[in-house]
Structure 1
Amino acid sequence: MADGTKAYQVVLEHIEEAILGGTLLVGQLLPPERDLAAQLGVSRAAVREAIHALVAQGVLTSSVGPRGGTRVAAMQAEALKRVLRLQVALADFPVSDVSEVRIALERTTIAAACRDIAPEVLAQIREVLDLMSAAEDPDEFNALDTRFHVLIATAGHNELATDMTIAIRESLRRPILGAEKVMDGWPAFRGSAMDQHERIYAALAAGDAQEAAAAMEAHIRASYSILPLETS
Protein backbone atom coordinates (compact mmCIF):
# COMPACT_ATOMS: atom_id res chain seq x y z
CA MET A 1 0.00 0.00 0.00
CA ALA A 2 1.49 3.34 -1.09
CA ASP A 3 0.55 5.76 1.67
CA GLY A 4 -1.75 6.29 4.66
CA THR A 5 -4.31 8.29 2.75
CA LYS A 6 -4.74 5.62 0.08
CA ALA A 7 -4.88 2.87 2.70
CA TYR A 8 -7.58 4.75 4.59
CA GLN A 9 -9.58 5.11 1.35
CA VAL A 10 -9.25 1.39 0.63
CA VAL A 11 -10.85 0.58 3.98
CA LEU A 12 -13.63 3.14 3.53
CA GLU A 13 -14.47 1.87 0.06
CA HIS A 14 -14.41 -1.77 1.21
CA ILE A 15 -16.87 -1.10 4.05
CA GLU A 16 -19.08 1.06 1.83
CA GLU A 17 -19.23 -1.60 -0.89
CA ALA A 18 -20.02 -4.29 1.69
CA ILE A 19 -22.93 -2.24 3.07
CA LEU A 20 -24.28 -1.33 -0.37
CA GLY A 21 -23.86 -4.91 -1.58
CA GLY A 22 -25.73 -6.35 1.38
CA THR A 23 -22.87 -8.37 2.85
CA LEU A 24 -22.76 -6.04 5.86
CA LEU A 25 -26.19 -5.46 7.38
CA VAL A 26 -27.48 -3.18 10.14
CA GLY A 27 -26.34 -4.54 13.50
CA GLN A 28 -23.75 -6.86 12.00
CA LEU A 29 -20.22 -6.94 13.42
CA LEU A 30 -17.26 -5.96 11.26
CA PRO A 31 -14.33 -8.39 11.23
CA PRO A 32 -11.69 -7.76 13.93
CA GLU A 33 -9.30 -4.92 13.16
CA ARG A 34 -6.30 -7.20 12.53
CA ASP A 35 -8.31 -9.47 10.20
CA LEU A 36 -9.61 -6.53 8.18
CA ALA A 37 -6.09 -5.08 7.92
CA ALA A 38 -4.69 -8.41 6.70
CA GLN A 39 -7.56 -8.93 4.26
CA LEU A 40 -7.07 -5.51 2.66
CA GLY A 41 -3.28 -5.37 2.92
CA VAL A 42 -3.27 -2.20 5.00
CA SER A 43 -2.06 -1.22 8.44
CA ARG A 44 -4.25 -1.49 11.52
CA ALA A 45 -3.83 2.28 11.88
CA ALA A 46 -5.52 2.77 8.49
CA VAL A 47 -8.39 0.52 9.59
CA ARG A 48 -8.79 2.48 12.83
CA GLU A 49 -8.77 5.81 10.99
CA ALA A 50 -11.48 4.69 8.57
CA ILE A 51 -13.62 3.21 11.35
CA HIS A 52 -13.31 6.36 13.47
CA ALA A 53 -14.48 8.45 10.49
CA LEU A 54 -17.48 6.19 9.86
CA VAL A 55 -18.39 6.18 13.55
CA ALA A 56 -18.29 10.00 13.53
CA GLN A 57 -20.61 10.01 10.52
CA GLY A 58 -23.06 7.67 12.23
CA VAL A 59 -22.49 4.80 9.78
CA LEU A 60 -20.85 2.53 12.37
CA THR A 61 -21.05 2.17 16.15
CA SER A 62 -18.19 0.99 18.32
CA SER A 63 -18.28 -0.39 21.86
CA VAL A 64 -16.06 -2.34 24.26
CA GLY A 65 -16.75 -5.33 26.47
CA PRO A 66 -17.70 -8.98 25.94
CA ARG A 67 -20.39 -8.07 23.42
CA GLY A 68 -18.50 -5.09 22.05
CA GLY A 69 -17.03 -4.45 18.64
CA THR A 70 -17.76 -2.35 15.60
CA ARG A 71 -21.20 -2.75 14.04
CA VAL A 72 -23.16 -1.25 11.18
CA ALA A 73 -25.48 1.37 12.64
CA ALA A 74 -29.10 2.08 11.86
CA MET A 75 -28.18 5.57 10.69
CA GLN A 76 -30.08 8.15 12.70
CA ALA A 77 -31.86 11.01 10.97
CA GLU A 78 -29.69 13.62 12.69
CA ALA A 79 -26.51 11.96 11.42
CA LEU A 80 -27.90 11.82 7.90
CA LYS A 81 -28.93 15.48 8.01
CA ARG A 82 -25.49 16.48 9.24
CA VAL A 83 -23.72 14.61 6.44
CA LEU A 84 -26.09 15.95 3.77
CA ARG A 85 -25.82 19.51 5.08
CA LEU A 86 -22.02 19.45 5.06
CA GLN A 87 -21.82 17.77 1.65
CA VAL A 88 -24.07 20.37 0.03
CA ALA A 89 -22.27 23.25 1.75
CA LEU A 90 -18.76 22.04 0.94
CA ALA A 91 -19.43 20.87 -2.61
CA ASP A 92 -19.94 24.50 -3.71
CA PHE A 93 -22.72 23.66 -6.15
CA PRO A 94 -24.03 26.59 -8.22
CA VAL A 95 -26.97 28.21 -6.46
CA SER A 96 -29.05 27.66 -9.60
CA ASP A 97 -28.50 23.90 -9.30
CA VAL A 98 -29.33 23.89 -5.61
CA SER A 99 -32.50 25.92 -6.18
CA GLU A 100 -33.74 23.51 -8.87
CA VAL A 101 -33.27 20.55 -6.53
CA ARG A 102 -35.00 22.47 -3.75
CA ILE A 103 -37.94 23.24 -6.05
CA ALA A 104 -38.31 19.57 -7.00
CA LEU A 105 -38.21 18.49 -3.36
CA GLU A 106 -40.59 21.11 -2.02
CA ARG A 107 -43.10 20.68 -4.84
CA THR A 108 -43.21 16.98 -3.94
CA THR A 109 -43.50 17.47 -0.18
CA ILE A 110 -46.19 20.16 -0.30
CA ALA A 111 -48.28 18.13 -2.76
CA ALA A 112 -48.08 15.20 -0.36
CA ALA A 113 -48.92 17.45 2.60
CA CYS A 114 -52.06 18.66 0.82
CA ARG A 115 -53.44 15.13 0.83
CA ASP A 116 -53.49 14.56 4.57
CA ILE A 117 -52.08 17.44 6.61
CA ALA A 118 -53.16 17.27 10.24
CA PRO A 119 -55.20 20.23 11.54
CA GLU A 120 -52.70 20.82 14.34
CA VAL A 121 -49.82 21.07 11.86
CA LEU A 122 -51.80 23.51 9.73
CA ALA A 123 -52.37 25.55 12.90
CA GLN A 124 -48.63 25.54 13.61
CA ILE A 125 -47.91 26.80 10.10
CA ARG A 126 -50.51 29.56 10.56
CA GLU A 127 -48.85 30.55 13.83
CA VAL A 128 -45.45 30.76 12.14
CA LEU A 129 -46.89 32.98 9.41
CA ASP A 130 -48.41 35.30 12.01
CA LEU A 131 -45.02 35.58 13.72
CA MET A 132 -43.36 36.26 10.36
CA SER A 133 -45.74 39.12 9.65
CA ALA A 134 -44.50 40.84 12.81
CA ALA A 135 -40.80 40.01 12.32
CA GLU A 136 -38.84 42.98 11.03
CA ASP A 137 -35.36 41.62 11.75
CA PRO A 138 -33.82 39.49 8.95
CA ASP A 139 -32.43 36.95 11.45
CA GLU A 140 -35.84 36.33 13.01
CA PHE A 141 -37.63 36.37 9.66
CA ASN A 142 -35.16 33.88 8.17
CA ALA A 143 -35.48 31.52 11.14
CA LEU A 144 -39.27 31.58 10.89
CA ASP A 145 -39.08 31.10 7.13
CA THR A 146 -37.02 27.96 7.69
CA ARG A 147 -39.57 26.76 10.25
CA PHE A 148 -42.40 27.34 7.76
CA HIS A 149 -40.76 25.24 5.05
CA VAL A 150 -39.65 22.47 7.42
CA LEU A 151 -43.17 22.12 8.85
CA ILE A 152 -44.56 21.69 5.35
CA ALA A 153 -41.86 19.20 4.38
CA THR A 154 -42.50 17.19 7.55
CA ALA A 155 -46.25 17.17 6.86
CA GLY A 156 -45.54 15.38 3.58
CA HIS A 157 -44.48 12.28 5.57
CA ASN A 158 -41.41 11.63 3.39
CA GLU A 159 -38.52 11.54 5.83
CA LEU A 160 -35.77 11.49 3.20
CA ALA A 161 -37.26 14.41 1.28
CA THR A 162 -37.62 16.29 4.57
CA ASP A 163 -33.99 15.65 5.54
CA MET A 164 -32.77 16.73 2.11
CA THR A 165 -34.90 19.87 2.25
CA ILE A 166 -33.43 20.77 5.63
CA ALA A 167 -29.90 20.03 4.42
CA ILE A 168 -30.27 22.29 1.38
CA ARG A 169 -31.82 25.13 3.38
CA GLU A 170 -29.19 24.90 6.11
CA SER A 171 -26.32 24.84 3.62
CA LEU A 172 -27.45 28.18 2.15
CA ARG A 173 -28.79 29.79 5.32
CA ARG A 174 -25.78 32.01 6.00
CA PRO A 175 -25.26 33.36 2.46
CA ILE A 176 -28.99 34.02 2.08
CA LEU A 177 -29.20 35.77 5.42
CA GLY A 178 -26.08 37.79 4.62
CA ALA A 179 -27.60 38.88 1.31
CA GLU A 180 -30.85 39.87 3.00
CA LYS A 181 -29.01 42.05 5.49
CA VAL A 182 -27.22 44.11 2.84
CA MET A 183 -29.88 44.21 0.13
CA ASP A 184 -31.67 47.38 -0.86
CA GLY A 185 -35.41 47.30 -0.26
CA TRP A 186 -35.54 44.74 2.55
CA PRO A 187 -39.07 45.81 3.62
CA ALA A 188 -40.35 45.31 0.07
CA PHE A 189 -38.63 41.93 -0.18
CA ARG A 190 -40.14 40.90 3.15
CA GLY A 191 -43.62 42.01 2.07
CA SER A 192 -43.37 40.12 -1.21
CA ALA A 193 -42.17 36.99 0.60
CA MET A 194 -45.10 37.22 3.00
CA ASP A 195 -47.57 37.44 0.11
CA GLN A 196 -45.99 34.33 -1.42
CA HIS A 197 -46.17 32.47 1.88
CA GLU A 198 -49.84 33.37 2.28
CA ARG A 199 -50.57 32.02 -1.21
CA ILE A 200 -48.80 28.78 -0.30
CA TYR A 201 -50.73 28.51 2.96
CA ALA A 202 -54.10 29.17 1.32
CA ALA A 203 -53.52 26.39 -1.22
CA LEU A 204 -52.31 24.03 1.49
CA ALA A 205 -55.34 24.74 3.68
CA ALA A 206 -57.63 24.15 0.69
CA GLY A 207 -55.91 20.86 -0.12
CA ASP A 208 -55.12 22.11 -3.64
CA ALA A 209 -51.92 20.20 -4.43
CA GLN A 210 -51.47 21.67 -7.91
CA GLU A 211 -51.81 25.28 -6.75
CA ALA A 212 -49.68 24.65 -3.66
CA ALA A 213 -46.84 23.18 -5.72
CA ALA A 214 -47.02 26.05 -8.22
CA ALA A 215 -47.06 28.63 -5.42
CA MET A 216 -44.07 26.98 -3.75
CA GLU A 217 -42.06 26.96 -6.97
CA ALA A 218 -42.90 30.60 -7.70
CA HIS A 219 -41.84 31.56 -4.18
CA ILE A 220 -38.49 29.77 -4.36
CA ARG A 221 -37.70 31.20 -7.80
CA ALA A 222 -38.63 34.71 -6.67
CA SER A 223 -36.47 34.42 -3.56
CA TYR A 224 -33.38 33.30 -5.46
CA SER A 225 -33.84 35.82 -8.29
CA ILE A 226 -34.16 38.78 -5.91
CA LEU A 227 -31.27 37.88 -3.64
CA PRO A 228 -27.84 39.00 -4.94
CA LEU A 229 -26.25 35.54 -4.83
CA GLU A 230 -23.69 34.07 -7.20
CA THR A 231 -25.26 31.48 -9.48
CA SER A 232 -22.14 29.70 -10.64
Structure 2
Amino acid sequence: MPDTPSRAAAVARAIEDDIVASGWRVGESIGSESELMERFGVGRASIREACRILDSRHVATPRRGPGGGLVVTAPDRSAVLDHASLYLEYTGFAPGDVYSVMETLEVSAAHELTATIDSAGIDRLRQVLSEEAAAEDFRERAVTVHTEIARLAGNSVLELFVHIGNNLARLHGVAPTESERAWMHERNIELVDAIVAGDAIAAARAVRRRVRAMTKREALSADRNPTSKVDDRS
Protein backbone atom coordinates (compact mmCIF):
# COMPACT_ATOMS: atom_id res chain seq x y z
CA MET A 1 0.00 0.00 0.00
CA PRO A 2 1.42 3.45 -0.92
CA ASP A 3 2.53 5.82 1.81
CA THR A 4 -0.12 8.46 2.55
CA PRO A 5 -0.82 10.79 5.49
CA SER A 6 -3.96 8.78 6.32
CA ARG A 7 -1.95 5.53 6.29
CA ALA A 8 0.60 7.00 8.68
CA ALA A 9 -2.20 8.15 10.99
CA ALA A 10 -3.73 4.67 10.92
CA VAL A 11 -0.38 3.11 11.84
CA ALA A 12 0.04 5.60 14.70
CA ARG A 13 -3.43 4.75 16.00
CA ALA A 14 -2.73 1.00 15.80
CA ILE A 15 0.51 1.42 17.74
CA GLU A 16 -1.22 3.58 20.33
CA ASP A 17 -3.96 0.98 20.78
CA ASP A 18 -1.32 -1.71 21.32
CA ILE A 19 0.45 0.44 23.93
CA VAL A 20 -2.79 0.96 25.85
CA ALA A 21 -3.76 -2.72 25.61
CA SER A 22 -0.37 -3.84 26.95
CA GLY A 23 -0.61 -1.59 30.02
CA TRP A 24 1.43 1.39 28.80
CA ARG A 25 4.85 0.01 29.74
CA VAL A 26 7.05 3.12 29.75
CA GLY A 27 10.54 2.48 28.37
CA GLU A 28 9.56 -0.60 26.38
CA SER A 29 10.76 -0.71 22.77
CA ILE A 30 7.96 -1.36 20.29
CA GLY A 31 10.33 -2.15 17.44
CA SER A 32 12.89 -0.72 15.09
CA GLU A 33 11.96 1.25 12.01
CA SER A 34 12.51 -1.77 9.74
CA GLU A 35 10.51 -4.03 12.08
CA LEU A 36 7.59 -1.62 12.08
CA MET A 37 7.73 -1.32 8.29
CA GLU A 38 7.47 -5.09 7.99
CA ARG A 39 4.78 -5.38 10.64
CA PHE A 40 2.46 -2.80 9.08
CA GLY A 41 3.39 -3.31 5.45
CA VAL A 42 4.18 0.33 4.77
CA GLY A 43 7.18 2.31 3.64
CA ARG A 44 9.74 4.25 5.61
CA ALA A 45 7.93 7.57 5.09
CA SER A 46 4.73 6.28 6.72
CA ILE A 47 6.58 4.83 9.70
CA ARG A 48 8.52 8.04 10.25
CA GLU A 49 5.35 10.12 10.05
CA ALA A 50 3.58 7.71 12.44
CA CYS A 51 6.50 8.07 14.86
CA ARG A 52 6.27 11.85 14.57
CA ILE A 53 2.55 11.69 15.42
CA LEU A 54 3.16 9.44 18.42
CA ASP A 55 6.00 11.66 19.63
CA SER A 56 3.83 14.79 19.38
CA ARG A 57 1.12 13.02 21.40
CA HIS A 58 3.66 11.99 24.08
CA VAL A 59 2.89 8.30 23.47
CA ALA A 60 6.21 7.01 22.11
CA THR A 61 9.43 8.50 20.83
CA PRO A 62 12.21 7.26 18.50
CA ARG A 63 15.43 6.37 20.29
CA ARG A 64 18.79 5.51 18.75
CA GLY A 65 21.20 2.82 19.86
CA PRO A 66 20.89 -0.64 21.42
CA GLY A 67 17.44 -1.27 22.85
CA GLY A 68 16.18 1.71 20.91
CA GLY A 69 13.66 1.99 18.15
CA LEU A 70 10.24 3.40 18.98
CA VAL A 71 10.08 3.56 22.78
CA VAL A 72 6.97 4.04 24.95
CA THR A 73 6.96 7.30 26.91
CA ALA A 74 4.83 8.68 29.74
CA PRO A 75 2.19 11.23 28.68
CA ASP A 76 2.99 14.80 29.69
CA ARG A 77 0.17 16.31 31.77
CA SER A 78 1.45 19.83 31.21
CA ALA A 79 0.76 19.42 27.49
CA VAL A 80 -2.87 18.58 28.27
CA LEU A 81 -3.15 21.66 30.48
CA ASP A 82 -1.64 23.89 27.81
CA HIS A 83 -3.94 22.54 25.09
CA ALA A 84 -7.01 22.96 27.31
CA SER A 85 -6.06 26.57 28.01
CA LEU A 86 -5.41 27.34 24.34
CA TYR A 87 -8.68 25.75 23.27
CA LEU A 88 -10.71 27.75 25.78
CA GLU A 89 -8.90 30.94 24.80
CA TYR A 90 -9.94 30.20 21.22
CA THR A 91 -13.58 29.45 22.06
CA GLY A 92 -13.87 32.13 24.71
CA PHE A 93 -14.84 31.61 28.34
CA ALA A 94 -15.65 33.55 31.48
CA PRO A 95 -13.62 33.04 34.67
CA GLY A 96 -16.92 32.43 36.46
CA ASP A 97 -17.43 29.35 34.31
CA VAL A 98 -14.07 27.98 35.45
CA TYR A 99 -14.86 28.56 39.12
CA SER A 100 -18.29 26.96 38.79
CA VAL A 101 -16.73 23.78 37.45
CA MET A 102 -13.90 23.93 40.01
CA GLU A 103 -16.41 24.07 42.84
CA THR A 104 -18.20 20.95 41.63
CA LEU A 105 -14.96 19.01 41.09
CA GLU A 106 -13.29 20.04 44.33
CA VAL A 107 -16.37 19.27 46.42
CA SER A 108 -16.55 15.84 44.80
CA ALA A 109 -12.86 15.15 45.46
CA ALA A 110 -13.10 16.28 49.08
CA HIS A 111 -16.21 14.16 49.62
CA GLU A 112 -14.47 11.05 48.27
CA LEU A 113 -11.34 11.60 50.34
CA THR A 114 -13.12 12.12 53.68
CA ALA A 115 -14.19 8.46 53.52
CA THR A 116 -10.82 7.00 52.56
CA ILE A 117 -7.95 9.15 53.82
CA ASP A 118 -5.22 7.37 55.81
CA SER A 119 -2.32 8.59 57.94
CA ALA A 120 0.00 8.89 54.93
CA GLY A 121 -2.60 11.01 53.12
CA ILE A 122 -3.01 13.23 56.17
CA ASP A 123 0.76 13.76 56.38
CA ARG A 124 0.89 14.59 52.67
CA LEU A 125 -1.88 17.19 52.91
CA ARG A 126 -0.19 18.80 55.92
CA GLN A 127 3.05 18.94 53.93
CA VAL A 128 1.33 20.63 50.96
CA LEU A 129 -0.27 23.15 53.34
CA SER A 130 3.14 23.93 54.79
CA GLU A 131 4.65 24.40 51.32
CA GLU A 132 1.71 26.60 50.34
CA ALA A 133 2.21 28.83 53.41
CA ALA A 134 5.88 29.31 52.49
CA ALA A 135 5.24 30.05 48.79
CA GLU A 136 5.41 33.63 47.61
CA ASP A 137 2.48 32.99 45.27
CA PHE A 138 0.97 29.54 45.64
CA ARG A 139 -0.95 30.03 42.38
CA GLU A 140 2.33 29.25 40.65
CA ARG A 141 2.52 25.83 42.27
CA ALA A 142 1.74 22.89 39.99
CA VAL A 143 0.62 20.86 43.01
CA THR A 144 -1.96 22.49 45.28
CA VAL A 145 -4.03 21.30 48.21
CA HIS A 146 -6.89 20.74 45.77
CA THR A 147 -4.96 18.78 43.14
CA GLU A 148 -3.46 16.66 45.94
CA ILE A 149 -6.90 15.98 47.42
CA ALA A 150 -8.06 14.77 43.99
CA ARG A 151 -4.95 12.58 43.63
CA LEU A 152 -5.37 11.04 47.06
CA ALA A 153 -9.03 10.36 46.33
CA GLY A 154 -7.76 7.90 43.72
CA ASN A 155 -9.86 9.22 40.83
CA SER A 156 -7.48 9.96 37.96
CA VAL A 157 -10.20 11.61 35.84
CA LEU A 158 -11.13 13.94 38.68
CA GLU A 159 -7.46 14.68 39.34
CA LEU A 160 -6.83 15.67 35.71
CA PHE A 161 -9.77 18.06 35.55
CA VAL A 162 -8.90 19.65 38.89
CA HIS A 163 -5.42 20.27 37.46
CA ILE A 164 -6.99 21.84 34.36
CA GLY A 165 -9.19 24.12 36.49
CA ASN A 166 -6.24 25.05 38.69
CA ASN A 167 -4.13 25.89 35.64
CA LEU A 168 -6.87 28.02 34.05
CA ALA A 169 -7.42 29.95 37.28
CA ARG A 170 -3.67 30.51 37.59
CA LEU A 171 -3.26 31.74 34.01
CA HIS A 172 -6.43 33.76 33.63
CA GLY A 173 -7.46 34.76 37.14
CA VAL A 174 -6.61 37.99 38.92
CA ALA A 175 -3.49 37.74 41.08
CA PRO A 176 -4.49 37.78 44.76
CA THR A 177 -3.10 40.26 47.26
CA GLU A 178 -1.11 39.10 50.25
CA SER A 179 -4.17 39.34 52.52
CA GLU A 180 -6.27 37.41 49.99
CA ARG A 181 -3.67 34.64 49.78
CA ALA A 182 -3.71 34.42 53.58
CA TRP A 183 -7.51 34.19 53.55
CA MET A 184 -7.50 31.42 50.95
CA HIS A 185 -4.81 29.55 52.87
CA GLU A 186 -7.04 29.64 55.96
CA ARG A 187 -9.86 28.14 53.91
CA ASN A 188 -7.51 25.39 52.77
CA ILE A 189 -6.57 24.67 56.38
CA GLU A 190 -10.29 24.41 57.20
CA LEU A 191 -10.74 22.06 54.24
CA VAL A 192 -7.92 19.73 55.28
CA ASP A 193 -9.07 19.73 58.91
CA ALA A 194 -12.57 18.75 57.78
CA ILE A 195 -11.26 15.92 55.60
CA VAL A 196 -9.08 14.62 58.43
CA ALA A 197 -12.12 14.71 60.73
CA GLY A 198 -14.17 12.82 58.13
CA ASP A 199 -16.65 15.70 57.91
CA ALA A 200 -17.72 15.85 54.25
CA ILE A 201 -20.24 18.64 54.91
CA ALA A 202 -17.63 20.92 56.48
CA ALA A 203 -15.18 20.09 53.70
CA ALA A 204 -17.72 21.06 51.03
CA ARG A 205 -18.46 24.28 52.92
CA ALA A 206 -14.77 25.22 52.98
CA VAL A 207 -14.47 24.62 49.23
CA ARG A 208 -17.58 26.65 48.45
CA ARG A 209 -16.57 29.60 50.64
CA ARG A 210 -13.23 29.89 48.88
CA VAL A 211 -14.42 29.32 45.31
CA ARG A 212 -17.45 31.59 45.59
CA ALA A 213 -15.33 34.35 47.08
CA MET A 214 -12.92 33.98 44.15
CA THR A 215 -15.85 34.09 41.72
CA LYS A 216 -17.16 37.29 43.30
CA ARG A 217 -13.71 38.83 43.19
CA GLU A 218 -13.31 38.02 39.49
CA ALA A 219 -16.71 39.58 38.76
CA LEU A 220 -15.74 42.75 40.58
CA SER A 221 -12.46 42.87 38.71
CA ALA A 222 -14.29 42.46 35.41
CA ASP A 223 -16.34 45.53 36.37
CA ARG A 224 -13.04 47.37 36.91
CA ASN A 225 -13.57 47.76 40.62
CA PRO A 226 -10.12 48.51 42.08
CA THR A 227 -11.24 47.84 45.64
CA SER A 228 -12.32 44.22 45.09
CA LYS A 229 -11.28 41.87 47.88
CA VAL A 230 -11.88 38.28 48.84
CA ASP A 231 -15.02 38.39 50.96
CA ASP A 232 -15.36 36.23 54.08
CA ARG A 233 -19.17 36.53 53.99
CA SER A 234 -19.61 34.01 51.18
Q: TM-score, normalised by structure 1?
A: 0.66
One of 82, 85, 88 as aligned partner of 2:78: 82
Question: Which stretch has the larger CA shift, 82-91 or 49-58?
Answer: 49-58
CA pair 87-132 structure 1, distance change in 2 beyond 3 A: closer
CA pair 24-11 structure 1, distance change in 2 beyond 3 A: farther
Match of 1:110 in 2: 110
Please, which runs of 5 or more residues in structure 1 have no aligned partner?
none
Q: Is the 8 A contact 2:12 2:53 kept in 1?
A: no
- Paired with 1:180 and 1:196, the residues of 2 have a C-alpha distance of 17
Please, which runs of 5 or more residues in structure 2 have no aligned partner?
23-27, 224-234
SS of the aligned residue for 1:203 comes to helix
Q: Is the 8 A contact 1:89 1:171 kept in 2?
A: yes
CA pair 115-229 structure 1, distance change in 2 beyond 3 A: farther
Match of 1:158 in 2: 155
Aligned residues: 207
Q: Deviations over 1:63-99 (max 9, x none)?
A: 457875436x4x63xx241332122121125234433
Please report the RMSD computed on the Cα atoms of aligned residues, expressed in angstroms. Answer: 3.9
Which has the larger helix fraction? 1
Give, in angstroms, the shift of residue 219 of structure 1.
2.0
Q: Is the 8 A contact 2:12 2:54 kept in 1?
A: no
SS of the aligned residue for 1:180 comes to coil
SS of the aligned residue for 2:154 comes to coil
CA pair 102-33 structure 1, distance change in 2 beyond 3 A: farther
Q: Deviations over 1:1-24 (max 9, x none)?
A: xxx9xx54663355337755x798
Q: Is the 8 A contact 2:62 2:69 kept in 1?
A: yes
Q: Deviations over 1:150-202 (max 9, x none)?
A: 322222122332233224323442333xx216xxxx24423432342233123
Q: Percent identity?
A: 20
Give, in angstroms, the shift of residue 35 of structure 1.
7.1
- Paired with 2:122 and 2:19, the residues of 1 have a C-alpha distance of 44
The AA in structure 1 aligned to 2:194 is A
Match of 1:216 in 2: 207
Q: Which has the higher contact order (CA 8 A, sep 6+)?
A: 1
Q: Is the 8 A contact 1:121 1:155 kept in 2?
A: yes
